[in-house]
Amino acid sequence: MIQRICLTVIVSFILILKGYPQKIITLYDCYDAAMKKSSLAGEQELHTSIWQIKDKNLSKNWLPSLDAGASFIYNSEVIDLGEKFSTVPIPGLADAIKPLPHEQYRITVDITQTIYDGGATKAARELENTNRKVNEKQTETDLYKLRSQVNNYYFSILMLDRQKESFEGFREVIEKRIASMESALKNEIIVPSDIDIMKAEKIKIEQQLKEIEIKKTALLKILSDLTGIAVEPADQLAVPELPGETDIELMRPELQYFDIRKEQLQAGIKTIATRRMPKAYGFATLGYGNPPGNNFLKDEFAPYYIIGAGIKWNIFDWSRVKNEKEILTLEQNIIEKRKTDLEENLRRMLEAKKAEILSLESLLESDRELIELRKKISSAAISRYENGVITAAEMLGELNAERQAAVTYELHKVSLAMAKAEYFNISGQEIK
């Protein structure tokens, strides 16, 4: 019978585990999932698609352009060669030469081929490429801000877990103490009010556990919504083990964004410079009209064509290009100053966070000493209570002090892990 009961319990436990598998979730998992779930995550692919389309269009600058056109012109005055030759002593000559027509009809196809564009297309493609990098880095910068939100909820849940563990352990201590005191009450060694003090403390602990459970449920829901990970109450959030290294290079995406913005402006300067470069092109016109081409003496519809080449060179632009390049250079200076200002702010934040880390490490050392002392004090308090030297309330106060010391130690450990995570995030280093 006992074997059957044990087998049933084991099978039930296995089924429960299968139905609610426990996951170990890391801080990096939450970072990665939050960035993938964000609506901003798809922007980088969109920016790449936009750049590819623009680059494809720019590469077609070297293809010939085709333009169709049609025109009708009426001239009020035209050359009358018959009138000009009326004085020539050749009989019938003036009558044989007809005057030019007043109307002109043309249907044309114009073809233009760029031969040399002064580097304009190349510069424009470089500019579009840097525009893509700027947009992608801006999206990355916006996504990076999600880490602070993840930190707040992730470590708040860890702190609630530590508090819950502490309260549950203290409840077990109180329950054992109540069982011991009930035995003493039967022997009339203690008074009933001593047990009532312990039972009241147990009710208080259960209230606090319920409050922790409600807070944790709310935080788990927020973290699940933020990351897209279905975080269950049974899941375990791992405390990140981060190195104590506090002298690391700044790798924030905002700083990289400023560098790419300067590249973008430099590409803009190159693009502007191409406006002053000479440009060569060839052209051809295929037409059908009356008169055909420039043959004004032919009064009938006929096909014709024109072929040629040309050069354009803006030799004087009233210093417009120079002024625009100067404007972009000044904007580069502004960006450099903003980058320097951000670096200084980040370094100040790192120094403050470094001080917080050192402070927490120092607190942990004293917490361990305090816990050992509190254990001795609690043990002595129990002995003194059993010998009737102190009251149950006084003994409970010492047990509470020991529990609080243990809770403070665990919370300081979580706070230290959070401070290190924030230090890494401020610097821009990846947390694995």
Q: What is the structure's pLDDT at 6?
A: 42
Which residue did the predictor score with more confidence, 85 or 209? 209
Q: Is the pLDDT of residue 60 over 50?
A: yes
Q: What is the pLDDT of residues 307-349, one digit of tens each?
A: 999 999 998 889 999 999 999 999 999 999 999 999 999 999 9
Q: Is the pLDDT of residue 66 over 90?
A: yes
Place of tokens 């209570």: 385
pLDDT band at 296 (very low <50, low <70, confident <90, very high): confident
Q: What is the structure's pLDDT at 78?
A: 76
Which residue did the predictor score with more confidence, 243 or 319? 319
- Mention every residue, 6+ apart, whose C-beta is less than 8 A from residue 362: none
Q: Choose among 173, 219, 236, 181: nearest CA to 25.
A: 236
Q: What is the structure's pLDDT at 103?
A: 87
Asked if residues 315 and 297 have their Cβ atoms less than 8 Å apart, the reply is: no
What percentage of the chain reaches a pLDDT higher than 90? 71
Q: Among 129-138, 243-252, 263-272, name the one with the lowest average pLDDT.
A: 243-252
Which residue did the predictor score with more confidence, 204 or 86? 204
Q: Is the pLDDT of residue 9 over 50?
A: no
Q: What is the structure's pLDDT at 277?
A: 93
Write down the H helix ranges in 109-191.
120-144, 146-186
Domains for the chain: give ranges and CATH numbers: 23-63+117-278+313-427 (1.20.1600.10)
Q: What is the structure's pLDDT at 76?
A: 84
Q: Choose among 410, 384, 403: nearest CA to 171.
A: 403
pTM recorded for the entire structure: 0.81
Q: What is the structure's pLDDT at 7?
A: 40
Which residue did the predictor score with more confidence, 5 or 404? 404
- Mention every residue, 6+ apart, whose C-beta is less than 8 A from residue 235: 22, 23, 24, 25
Mean pLDDT over 288-311 rounds to 88
Asked if residues 24 and 232 have their Cβ atoms less than 8 Å apart, the reply is: no
- Mention every residue, 6+ apart, whose C-beta is less than 8 A from residue 297: 81, 100, 291
Q: Is the pLDDT of residue 197 over 50?
A: yes
Mean pLDDT over 108-116 rounds to 95
Q: What is the pLDDT of residues 336-382, one digit of tens each?
A: 999 999 999 999 999 999 999 999 999 999 999 999 999 999 999 99
Q: What is the pLDDT of residues 70-110, one digit of tens each?
A: 999 988 877 766 555 555 555 555 555 666 788 889 999 99
